Amino acid sequence: MSVPVANSLPLVSSKSRRRARDKHDHILWLIGAGKIFYGLLLLGVGIGAFNLIGKNLSTELWHLTERWNIDFHNHYVQMLFRKAHEMDGKRLIFLTVMTFGYAAVFFIEGIGLIMGKYWAKWMVICVTASFIPGEIYNLTRQFDWLDTILLLINVICVIYLLWRILTRDRANKPARHKLRNGG
């Protein structure tokens, strides 16, 4: 009696393949966790902005500077006061909705990567790569080390995910295709 081809033993042990896959899954998990963390930050900013709708932003900022004992003459505090003075209700609502929208995108990306979904890798590549030209432009206008580090992290994530799709996921594509089509 012959053994079916589907049940034959692989040339490479499943344990070594699992170890290699787990290493890369940890990287995907790390990227996904970072996306979820960023989504949580944006959610917090969105909730804070939502609570400011209908209020006088300059008055609220003044109360914060007094409560936290921040120097009113600080350059950054003055810049915040100028921005708060320019902000109207419609603009604040728009920014709040956009912040919640971006938070949702980051949650979807993060959860998709943690679950190992193929579409999530492409989504992260497209969304993250779309921000890179703007980040480079902002760095040419005003250099900042933190922005540079964040730009490098984004570029590394895009390159890693592209590499992963083009090498590892492409090698597994026939197996995924057969499973999907019941073959």
Does pLDDT of 182 surpass 90?
no
Model confidence pLDDT, tens digit, residues 48-78 = 999 999 888 888 888 888 999 988 888 888 8
One domain for residues 100 and 131 = no
One domain for residues 95 and 151 = no
pLDDT above 90 covers a percentage of the chain that reads 56
pLDDT at 141: 94
One domain for residues 140 and 106 = no
Model confidence pLDDT, tens digit, residues 119-143 = 999 999 999 999 999 999 999 999 9
- Per the structure, the complete domain to which residue 133 belongs is given by 117-174
One domain for residues 92 and 165 = no
Q: Is residue 8 part of a domain?
A: no
pLDDT at 149: 96
One domain for residues 106 and 32 = yes
pLDDT at 74: 86
Domain end residue (candidates: 116, 133, 164): 116
Residue 169 CA to residue 150 CA, distance in Å, equals 26
Does pLDDT of 8 surpass 70?
no
- Per the rule left: phi > 0, alpha: psi between -120 and 50, beta: everything else, 9 is beta
Q: Is residue 47 part of a domain?
A: yes
One domain for residues 24 and 74 = yes
Residues near 124 by Cβ (< 8 Å), separated by ≥ 6? Answer: 31, 35, 109, 112, 113, 157, 158, 161
Pick from 24, 28, 12, 22: nearest CA to 157: 28
One domain for residues 91 and 139 = no
Question: How many structural domains is the chain composed of?
Answer: 2
